[in-house]
Amino acid sequence: MGWLRKLLNIKPDKTIQVENKNRVILECLQALRYGPVEIRKAILEANRVKVKDLAATNGISVMSIYNTITGRRRSPKAMELVASALDLSVEEFFPLTKGAPGLHTRGSQPSTLTDGRPLSVSGCV
């Protein structure tokens, strides 16, 4: 996950000093036009969250969680589990886009953040 640390200029022994670092990472990667699946994988990796560990402690199959993260499936239980493990809402971490539910491509991101502010890369690089 060195590329994310480099992108966000995070030192290995320090963390982002904000209320929710995952929300900052999410908004920065959205501003940089990363797709939802790429963002999910990056945030999970940045937090060292392992799908296998989530599945083992919550009775959901690894494949169900993985397919939900990659957009191949929309399991409400898996979506809630993953989002809550990262202290994000399901709507933030699994945004709906036009087209097939759960399938996302780069550039299909909204033009505003969840609080209505316009997307911008300022402060993200």
Distance CA 50, CA 48 (A): 6
Contact 112, 119 (CB under 8 A): yes
Contact 34, 26 (CB under 8 A): no
Q: How high is the pLDDT of residue 117?
A: 54
118 beta partners: 112
In the predicted structure, residue 34 carries a pLDDT above the cut 90: yes
Q: How high is the pLDDT of residue 96?
A: 80
pTM for the model: 0.66
Q: How high is the pLDDT of residue 120?
A: 52
Q: How high is the pLDDT of residue 118?
A: 55
Q: How high is the pLDDT of residue 33?
A: 92
Contact 69, 44 (CB under 8 A): yes
Q: Which residue has the higher pLDDT, 42 or 98?
A: 42
